[in-house]
Structure 1
Amino acid sequence: MSEKPLPPEVQNMIIHYQSILENKAKMEAELRIIEAELSDIENILETLKNLGDDAELYKALGHVLVKKSKADVVKELEERKELLTVKRDKYRKQLDFLTKEAGNLEGRIKEALSKHGYTTS
């Protein structure tokens, strides 16, 4: 006894569902990287607070270290932090959307499968 093939519309929904899950996984990985960098920046800024304004700081530019003022380093870190915060918030919203979309699509797939005589668990 052979199984009947899935209807094309169900196959397309499953492909779309898998695509959503892949995009969601990629975005979650990128979000973890962003959050780790934000954490590093917070720690560095906290450390810099304890240094005097005349502290000698160096920034790596490729294989070269360049002397920077504390104010310049703090400014660069604050700008990077702001950019990453905006990016993090955007990713969180997109993840919420993808999670809802995946849930809705999963329900539609189950409904379509049962309509065509397939059992779902």
Structure 2
Amino acid sequence: MTVAALSTFRQALSGCEIAVLADISAGSVLAWDSALKWPQEQLDALCDLASRALSIGAPLPTTAVVADALGCQVFIRIAANSDEVLCGVFAPDQDLDDVLMEGRRFCTVLDAQDTSEGPT
């Protein structure tokens, strides 16, 4: 996964403030892209929110959306039961259908790349 792929994803959605690939089992950000610099503590908080949002229920959800008046955060597992998650922060007027469609497409492509590379 490269920052360039995250940048392409983010730029395809005009209301996307940041796109992050995180490993929620380790609580770490693997890569991110944003038009603005994000402090590490905000990246860590986004990763923590993804972990909490995707740990509710059984079976574990593959997608979670956390919304408020300032916008929404969307979290999509790269694959079912995967700890790698695509995270995005979006403006309040962003079309969530577009976000979920593009996010799932991105995750499918990324999962196919990971699968074709085999174990390391």
The normalised TM-score by structure 1 is 0.27
Higher percent of residues as helix: 1
Which of the two has greater strand per residue? 2
